[in-house]
């Protein structure tokens, strides 16, 4: 049986640990036939991934995961089938990476005030010269034995109220969706359960997202429980959004998360990969067929 497409993965172009080529190699071995590379705030890995995919008969969907500040929270919006060199998208992402550079230095300064020195340099060394994310800080702090594992680092140092926390100043929701659409892509709300929004806030997010031209939501993703998969399948149907599926794979260091193992979308969802040519938000006719 061919696994369903995996439309959310990371490489060393952001905070993944496999190069784009190695990621494709592993995806092909796992039996995947369609994979999207969706690095945080960059499309730098897409060219290498596309070349590797062509050699393996795998369809590479060029993508990106855009960091967004919405109502003082960080939300992630995945762009699928984007033109990776579209100037408007490229300019927008460059602004987010400039903020990342400043933020990384600021996290370093804050950790230094807390008695942890060399964190910026450590994170930068672990980023391989590409953009710096909090995951790179986490890897450094774990190696320094200042925390047990990555999630321990986030809990103790990097989240709100903790010594290395720096508030996000990312794209607006409107900007993120507009960059993705201008680049010919489809915008998808990533891992919606992770934001722990109330029902009212979630419906507000989906409403604004749709108004700006967003058309999809991740229903199946590794951080969703079985119940959450069904909850978000219902939201997708009721809010007329296309359903996406993506592992959010970051590399083999997370052995519990394997490529090619996503469960199927629940019945009644319209998969975003059913018709790539249409970003039309679902109309009644499309709903009737699902
Ligand atoms: P950034 O975009 O640099 O702020 O970092 C966000 C990334 O950090 C996410 O994409 C995850 O890869 C990782 N991350 C966020 N929260 C956690 C957590 N609690 N445990 C492990 N990794 C996390
Ligand atoms: Mn990440
Ligand atoms: Mn994310
Ligand atoms: Mn991700």
Question: Using one digit for the tens of pLDDT, what is the confidence trace for 23-69?
Answer: 999 999 999 999 999 999 999 999 999 999 998 999 999 999 999 99
Rounded distance from Cα 73 to ligand 1 centre (Å): 14
Task: For residue range 145-200, list pLDDT tens digits in order.
Answer: 999 999 999 999 999 999 999 999 999 999 999 999 999 999 999 999 999 999 99
Nearest to 264 by CA among 287, 231, 233: 233
Res 275: pLDDT: 80
Q: Which protein residue has the closest C-alpha to ligand 1 atom 23?
A: 151
> For 76-97, what is the mean pLDDT?
98
* Ion ligand 4 — residues with CB < 5 Å: 65, 248
Q: How confident is the prediction for the chain on average, in pLDDT?
A: 94
Q: Which protein residue has the closest C-alpha to ligand 1 atom 8?
A: 135
167 three-class SS: coil
Rounded distance from Cα 270 to ligand 3 centre (Å): 22
43 three-class SS: coil
Q: Which atom of ligand 1 is nearest to the CA of 40?
A: 2
Q: Which residue from 12, 14, 15 has its CB within 8 A of the most atoms of ligand 1, so it is best to mutate?
A: 15
In order of start, what are the domains of the chain with their CATH numbers?
A: 1-290 (3.20.20.140)
* Ion ligand 2 — residues with CB < 5 Å: 15
Question: What's the CA gap between 127 and 99, in Å, rounded?
Answer: 16
Rounded distance from Cα 288 to ligand 2 centre (Å): 36
> For 211-236, what is the mean pLDDT?
98
Q: How would residue 1 be classed by pLDDT, with cut points 50, 70 and 90? A: confident
Rounded distance from Cα 135 to ligand 2 centre (Å): 7
- The answer, yes or no, to whether residue 207 has pLDDT greater than 80, is yes
Res 129: pLDDT: 83
- The answer, yes or no, to whether residue 280 has pLDDT greater than 90, is no
- The answer, yes or no, to whether residue 284 has pLDDT greater than 90, is no
Cβ contacts of 57 within 8 Å, gap of 6 or more: 28, 33
- The answer, yes or no, to whether residue 289 has pLDDT greater than 70, is no
Res 211: pLDDT: 97
Q: Which residue from 97, 106, 136, 154 has its CB within 8 A of the most atoms of ligand 1, so it is best to mutate?
A: 154
- Which DSSP helix (H) or strand (E) runs through 80? strand 73-80
Interior CA angle at 103 toward 98 and 106, to 5°?
A: 135
Question: What's the CA gap between 265 and 243, in Å, rounded?
Answer: 8
CB 104 within 8 A of CB 132: yes
Res 285: pLDDT: 43
pTM here is 0.95
Q: Which protein residue has the closest C-alpha to ligand 1 atom 6?
A: 134
Residues with C-beta less than 6 Å from any ligand 1 atom: 15, 40, 67, 133-135, 150-151, 154, 250
Nearest to 6 by CA among 68, 75, 80: 80
Question: What count of Cα atoms within 13 Å lies in the side-chain half-sphere of residue 164?
Answer: 27
Question: What's the CA gap between 2 and 19, in Å, rounded?
Answer: 24
Question: What's the CA gap between 235 and 129, in Å, rounded?
Answer: 40
Res 3: pLDDT: 85
Q: Which atom of ligand 1 is nearest to the CA of 136?
A: 3
Q: Which atom of ligand 1 is nearest to the CA of 133?
A: 3
Res 259: pLDDT: 97
Rounded distance from Cα 187 to ligand 3 centre (Å): 14
Res 2: pLDDT: 78
Q: Which protein residue has the closest C-alpha to ligand 1 atom 3?
A: 133
Please write down the long-range contacts of 259-264, taking CB distance under 8 Å and 24 or more positions apart. Answer: 259/6, 259/9, 259/26, 259/27, 259/30, 259/32, 260/3, 260/6, 260/27, 260/30, 260/31, 260/32, 261/3, 261/30, 262/3, 262/4, 262/6, 262/220, 262/222, 263/220, 263/229, 264/4, 264/220
CB 163 within 8 A of CB 194: no
- The answer, yes or no, to whether residue 247 has pLDDT greater than 50, is yes
Give the ligand whose atoms come closest to the C-alpha of residue 9: 4
Q: How far is CA 247 from CA 33, 169, 254, 260, in A?
A: 14, 26, 12, 9
Cβ contacts of 121 within 8 Å, gap of 6 or more: 108
């Amino acid at each position: 049986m061919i696994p369903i497409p995996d439309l959310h993965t990371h490489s060393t172009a952001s905070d993944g640990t496999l190069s784009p080529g190695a990621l494709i190699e592993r995806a092909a071995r796992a039996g995947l036939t369609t994979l999207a590379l969706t690095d945080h705030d960059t499309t730098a890995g897409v060219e290498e991934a596309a070349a590797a995919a062509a050699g393996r008969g795998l369809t590479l969907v060029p993508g990106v995961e855009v960091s967004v500040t919405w109502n003082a929270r960080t939300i992630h919006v995945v762009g699928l089938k984007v033109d990776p060199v579209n100037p408007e998208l490229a300019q927008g992402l460059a602004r987010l990476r400039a903020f990342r550079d400043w933020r990384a230095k600021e996290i370093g300064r804050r950790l230094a005030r807390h008695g942890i020195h060399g964190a910026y340099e450590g994170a930068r060394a672990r980023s391989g010269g590409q953009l710096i994310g909090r995951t790179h800080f986490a890897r450094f702090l774990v190696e320094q034995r200042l925390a047990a594992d990555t999630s321990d680092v986030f809990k103790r140092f990097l989240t709100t109220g903790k010594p290395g926390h720096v508030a996000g100043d990312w794209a607006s929701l409107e900007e993120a969706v507009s960059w993705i659409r201008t680049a010919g892509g489809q915008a998808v709300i990533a891992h919606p359960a992770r934001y722990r929004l109330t029902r009212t806030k979630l419906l507000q997010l989906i409403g604004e997202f749709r108004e700006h031209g967003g058309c999809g939501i991740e229903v199946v993703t590794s951080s969703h429980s079985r119940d959450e998969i069904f909850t978000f399948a219902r939201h997708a149907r009721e809010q007329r959004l296309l359903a996406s599926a993506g592992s959010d794979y970051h590399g083999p260091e997370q052995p519990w998360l394997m490529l090619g193992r996503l469960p199927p979308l629940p019945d009644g969802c319209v998969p975003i990969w059913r018709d790539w040519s249409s970003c039309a938000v679902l109309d009644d006719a499309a709903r009737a067929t699902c």
